[in-house]
Amino acid sequence: MGLSKRSIKADFPIFNDSDLVYLDNASTTHKPQQVLDAILSMYTETNANVHRALYDIGSQATERFENSRKRIADFIRAPSEKEIIFTSGTTESINLLGRTLGNDLGPKDDILVSEMEHHANLVPWQMACDRTGANLKFIPINDKGELDLSEPDRYFTSSTKIISIAHVSNVLGTINPINDIAEMAKDVGAIFIVDGAQGVPHQAVNVQELGCDFYAFSGHKMLGPTGIGSLWGRMEILERMDPFMGGGEMIDTVSMNSSTWNEVPYKFEAGTPNFVQAVGLGAAIDYLESLGMDTIAKDEKEITDYALKKMSQIEGVRVFGAAKNRSGVISFNLTGVHAHDLAQFLNKDNIAIRVGHHCAQPLLSSLNESSVARLSIYVYNDKSDIDKFCRSLITVKNYF
Ligand SMILES: Cc1ncc(COP(=O)(O)O)c(C=O)c1O
């Protein structure tokens, strides 16, 4: 059975009595009432600092927080909830790795990323290279906007120590062959990190089947609150890593001159965690699972194919990226219209899309563009949203 868009939309207060066509889901997503209720009930019923308070609402808050960790572990099929670290999102997750794993490198070591990375999966590695003298290497992309893995020996070498690649490109929509890269990483003995910001919200993820060592994602891109995300990692690597930040809860013992660390995952969660948001993320996962991740992926593919077909019928529309395996992120330009003008015109029709470099300046440079328009689809979008968007696009084209 497909998704009932009418009942899904009714769950999202932002769409009540509104003709908003929201097509900026790769940026952030809206929140269903179920998530808002979970957040409100944390604040109104069980607001107390987790892992610290001995009174009833304190233990209830801790239980709800730790249940969310379990929900996330089950959702991505992690072997244990102890391997789930709460962070503020993908950016913090990758910075955590850059500061811990990255610091162990030296001038003879390589970090391998790709040309299509979001700045969140590029800048932390540049910073690690600056600190340690390690070298940053790139897998290029081909004409279709897929990773060019035709000459793996050029990129995967005995010097490659860390590989960090997006599961799904936030500009081209390309779904990368994570299993293949995991094999290549294993062959050279490198640690393999997946930036799952655009992956886990849109398809069923099984980190054990993917074969990676780390998987990072953000709650706000999957119907959850801002300020919460996660990093999954293999326990044997997490155990030998240094902490990322120092402070409360991440310690075991502290004296005036030194400290010892708490166990994983708490070693990586210094200070009061975003426990309310973590519970909100758990509720978002409940919501997504009630729809079914495979159903969501199938539905998104149908709407994406529909959008690509309709857009191809509009003269002057140029879509960037033609990967065979792709998601519901579609970047494009309209000949003769600057992307920013386009967004402003669409906004007059209450249609929200994103324009700019999408935090992927090296990729945009390789496309010879400084700014592109992007629509991105999620569970509440239907074909009528695409129809309205295309009608508006034609009006803009005719106007210019
Ligand atoms: C592929 C990718 N990686 C990382 C990020 C950063 O996510 P956040 O800003 O939630 O940390 C994004 C955000 O758009 C993204 O699309």
In tens, the pLDDT along 225-241 reads: 999 999 999 999 999 99
pLDDT at position 232 is 99
Q: What is the CATH number of domain 5-31+292-399?
A: 3.90.1150.10
Ligand 1 contact via 218 beta carbon (within 6 Å): yes
Mutate-to-test residue for ligand 1 from 359, 363, 364, 378, highest number of ligand atoms within 8 A of CB: 359
Q: Which residues contact 175 (CB under 8 A, 6 or more apart)?
A: 167, 168, 199, 203, 323, 325, 326, 327
* DSSP code per residue over 141-157: B-TTS-B--S-HHHHS-
Residue 3 to residues 6, 8, 30, 290, 383, Cα–Cα distance (Å): 9, 8, 17, 11, 12
Measured over the CA atoms of residue 162, residue 168, residue 174 and residue 176, the dihedral's sign is positive
Closest CA to 29 of 279, 280, 297, 224: 224
Helix (H/G/I), strand (E/B), else coil: 163:
strand
User: Please, are residues 100 and 241 in contact by the beta-carbon 8 Å criterion?
Assistant: yes
pLDDT at position 249 is 94
pLDDT at position 400 is 87
Ligand 1 contact via 213 beta carbon (within 6 Å): no
Q: How far is the CA of 281 from the centre of ligand 1 (A)?
A: 16
User: Please, are residues 124 and 98 in contact by the beta-carbon 8 Å criterion?
Assistant: yes
In tens, the pLDDT along 65-92 reads: 999 999 999 999 999 999 999 999 999 9
Domain extents in the chain: 5-31+292-399, 35-289
Q: How far is the CA of 398 from the centre of ligand 1 (A)?
A: 34
pLDDT at position 1 is 74
Helix (H/G/I), strand (E/B), else coil: 301:
helix
pLDDT at position 53 is 84
Task: State which ligand 1 atom lies nearest to the alpha carbon of 169.
Answer: 1
Task: State which ligand 1 atom lies nearest to the alpha carbon of 92.
Answer: 11
- Plot region of 109 (φ>0 → left; ψ -120 to 50 → alpha; else → beta): beta
Neighbouring-strand partners of residue 233:
214
Token couple for 121: 């999966």
Residues in the chain predicted with pLDDT less than 50, given as ranges, are none
pLDDT at position 229 is 98
pLDDT at position 145 is 97
Residue 366 to residues 119, 214, 360, Cα–Cα distance (Å): 15, 28, 10
Q: In the CATH scheme, what architecture does the domain 35-289 have?
A: 3-Layer(aba) Sandwich (3.40)
**Residue 150 exposed, middle or buried by CB count within 10 Å (0-12, 13-18, 19+):** exposed
Residue 153 to residues 140, 184, 201, Cα–Cα distance (Å): 13, 9, 32
**H helix intervals, the chain:** 5-10, 33-45, 56-75, 90-100, 123-132, 152-155, 178-188, 207-210, 235-240, 275-291, 293-312, 339-348, 361-366, 383-399
Residue 381 CA to residue 393 CA, distance in Å, equals 17
